Structure 1
Amino acid sequence: MAVNIINDGDRSPRIILREPTGSTAEVALYGGQVVSWKNQRREELLFMSSKAVTKPPKPIRGGIPICFPQVANFGTLEQHGFARNRLWSLDEDPAPLPPAKNQSMVDLVLKSTEEDLHTWPYRFELRLRVCIGPDKLAMIPRVRNVDSKAFSFTIALRNYFSVSDVSEVRVEGLETLDYLDNLLRRERYTEQADAITFDGEIDRVYLSTPTKIAVIDHERKRTIVLRKEGMVDAVVWNPWDKKAKAIVDLGDEDYKTMLCLDAASIENPITIKPCEEWKGRQELSIVSSSYFSGQLDPQKVFRGLH
């Protein structure tokens, strides 16, 4: 399986993962961030802002940034934490994860620095494995406590998906669940719709979510399935027109072709003791679909994920 490292211009080094059927992924060392994922037909599945800044020290708007050790401003640090604003390294010792057989993959690591300790006084190691398969992308984040005291954190993999038209997209799998509405002072509500559709700004943290959630894009006749472990919450976000204009590194019209659906642990922070390690996982899969009724057949969509 091919793995290439590319250095060009002002951008941080990037790792290109390829697998035989044609799927590819591109991972930036700055932020430990997946910035591209293409399927076997070379179609880009992740959104990247038309005004994205790819030169450090700005975070990259798009792809799959990692929010750690806090998500949004659920804490005292900079928004979404500092992991997405740091230069990661190739991990030469990814133990205890077994070697991936017949997969194109890369292991990255971010270790706390003296500078980080001034803002978040805990020594940690944050590892990330990225694996690409036929129309599949898996990410395994791990947090190890190398401090002398326990600490708590929140974490999210912010998936910026590329969609044909967000107003025509449905998210299924979050029905009847409670959520915190960040637009209404994090008040708690219960989802009443049979699927989430979009006609305005949305910023919600869905709680105690299932392991599988689907984004159905009728126009492109495809469904993106998010399967996750270790991250019980899910964030749904789209800034819509007014907020998009206020975000410096987002194009005014970009909101129409993007949707964020994050695997996250937010409501209940994760606590680990010294020498302990937490591990999560998400797998994104592409399933061809032609649903027009909005009724998702879980057997068809999720059959290949076990």
Structure 2
Amino acid sequence: MNHSAVAGDRREAVEVTKDRNGIDQVVLRNPRGASAQVSLHGGQVLSWKTDRGEELLFTSSKAIFKPPTAVRGGIPICFPQFGNRGSLEQHGFARNKIWVIDDNAPPLHANDSDGKTYADLLFKLSQEDLKVWPHSFEFRLRVSLTADGYLTMISRIRNINCKPFSFSFAYHTYFSVSDISEVRVEGLETLDYLDNLYQRERFTEQGDALTFESEVDRVYLSSSDVIAVYDHEKKRTFVIRKDGLPDVVVWNPWEKKSKSMVDFGDEEYKQMLCVDGAAIEKPITLKPGEEWTGRLELSVMLST
């Protein structure tokens, strides 16, 4: 195997395996034993584990791992739209297509490579797909795992078309939590948000922290670049750092909606919370030759 995803002294740290449907997956491991697993089905991170083997992402026990169905859990990439508008499928097509390992990606800078393992993936539309969405682009994704076990995703989308196009975007991150009623999110206070449960009506967040006792489906606008998700029972905090992603989606389907989703267990809403770095309210427009970068860094801290 001679992929650039497995270059140099990182050979033992990056492994390409196949899932039950024969789709390639890249497994990253850092020197301390933390790991991440990225599927070429959707360029989707399916697993992120601590050095003690504890899974940090939620995946439904009823998830369907067969294209063209997107996997319910992990970190699906929503592009070129978030939500359900126009003729495209919900949350766009990037999460449903097969990506490839990117053999032409530039290496890490020396000052950035210390203890870091990474995989580079590439997504382009087929001729068939261009009939549905007639805009040519190159979407390069780098997923890396640092020596500290931080998970970083960098998306670079370049317009290789002769005309501009616009898109919205989200890293639809499913965090694994002990009990949704024990979780709070900080960093969204005083922000305006669009509430999808009320036809995207605009409200202002009144609370000091966001807590959960019913279904939530909101897009918080123009947030700061650091958001924290506190899991009181597990005594751990997820820290989300983002760049190029002004908005934050917060979603939990709660009981009624959970029962209506075929790929989601009836009670599983208690063990998950989606908090996404996103660009939704103001779509990104790329002129020919222009490139956009959206960066997400996830870390976890244990509290006493």
Decide: shared fold, TM above 0.5. Answer: yes
| Residue 72 of structure 1 pairs with residue 83 of structure 2 | yes
Amino acid at match of 1:191: E
| Residue 57 of structure 1 pairs with residue 83 of structure 2 | no
| Residue 94 of structure 1 pairs with residue 105 of structure 2 | yes
Residues 285 and 159 of structure 1: CA distance in aligned 2, closer, same or farther (over 3 Å): same
2:124 paired residue number: 111
C-alpha deviations, 1:109-150, integer Å up to 9, x for none?
001211221111100111100000223100001100000001
Amino acid at match of 1:6: T
Give, in whole Å, the separation in 2 of the partners of 1:98 and 1:275.
Answer: 24
What TM-score do you get using the length of structure 1 for normalisation? 0.92
Give, in whole Å, the separation in 2 of the partners of 1:250 and 1:8.
Answer: 20
Give, in whole Å, the separation in 1 of the partners of 2:109 and 2:65.
Answer: 32
Equivalent of residue 257 in structure 2, options 231, 234, 243: 243
CA drift at 1:93: 1.4
DSSP 3-state at the match of 1:118: helix
| Residue 254 of structure 1 pairs with residue 257 of structure 2 | no
CA drift at 1:261: 0.2
CA drift at 1:265: 0.2
Equivalent of residue 202 in structure 2, options 188, 197, 218: 188
CA drift at 1:97: 6.7
Conservation of the 8 A alpha-carbon contact between 1:181 and 1:189: yes
Conservation of the 8 A alpha-carbon contact between 1:11 and 1:55: no
Conservation of the 8 A alpha-carbon contact between 1:143 and 1:277: yes
C-alpha deviations, 1:145-174, integer Å up to 9, x for none?
000001100010000000000011000000
Amino acid at match of 2:215: E
| Residue 172 of structure 1 pairs with residue 186 of structure 2 | yes
| Residue 208 of structure 1 pairs with residue 222 of structure 2 | yes
Q: Write the mapping of 1:1-306 to structure 2, written as runs, cut at 5 A.
A: 1=10, 2-95=13-106, 98=109, 101=113, 102-133=115-146, 134-290=148-304
Residues 7 and 226 of structure 1: CA distance in aligned 2, closer, same or farther (over 3 Å): same
% of aligned pairs identical? 59
Give, in whole Å, the separation in 1 of the partners of 2:294 and 2:210.
Answer: 25
Give, in whole Å, the separation in 1 of the partners of 2:247 and 2:141.
Answer: 19
Give, in whole Å, the separation in 2 of the partners of 1:243 and 1:215.
Answer: 23
DSSP 3-state at the match of 1:280: strand
DSSP 3-state at the match of 2:262: coil
Amino acid at match of 2:193: Y
C-alpha deviations, 1:247-266, integer Å up to 9, x for none?
11001111000000000000
Moved more, 52-61 or 198-207: 52-61
Give, in whole Å, the separation in 1 of the partners of 2:239 and 2:85.
Answer: 27
1:297 paired residue number: none
Give, in whole Å, the separation in 1 of the partners of 2:176 and 2:214.
Answer: 17
Conservation of the 8 A alpha-carbon contact between 1:245 and 1:252: yes
2:6 paired residue number: none
Unaligned runs of 5+ in 1: 291-306
Conservation of the 8 A alpha-carbon contact between 2:30 and 2:149: no
Give, in whole Å, the separation in 2 of the partners of 1:97 and 1:144.
Answer: 20
Give, in whole Å, the separation in 1 of the partners of 2:268 and 2:210.
Answer: 20
CA drift at 1:54: 1.0
DSSP 3-state at the match of 1:174: coil
Amino acid at match of 1:266: I
Moved more, 6-15 or 204-213: 6-15
DSSP 3-state at the match of 1:242: helix
Residues 144 and 96 of structure 1: CA distance in aligned 2, closer, same or farther (over 3 Å): farther
Moved more, 122-131 or 69-78: 69-78
Unaligned runs of 5+ in 2: 1-9
What TM-score do you get using the length of structure 2 for normalisation? 0.93
Give, in whole Å, the separation in 1 of the partners of 2:167 and 2:277.
Answer: 15
CA drift at 1:180: 0.1
Amino acid at match of 1:27: V
Aligned residues: 290
What root-mean-square deviation, in Å, do the aligned CA atoms of Structure 1 and Structure 2 show?
A: 1.3
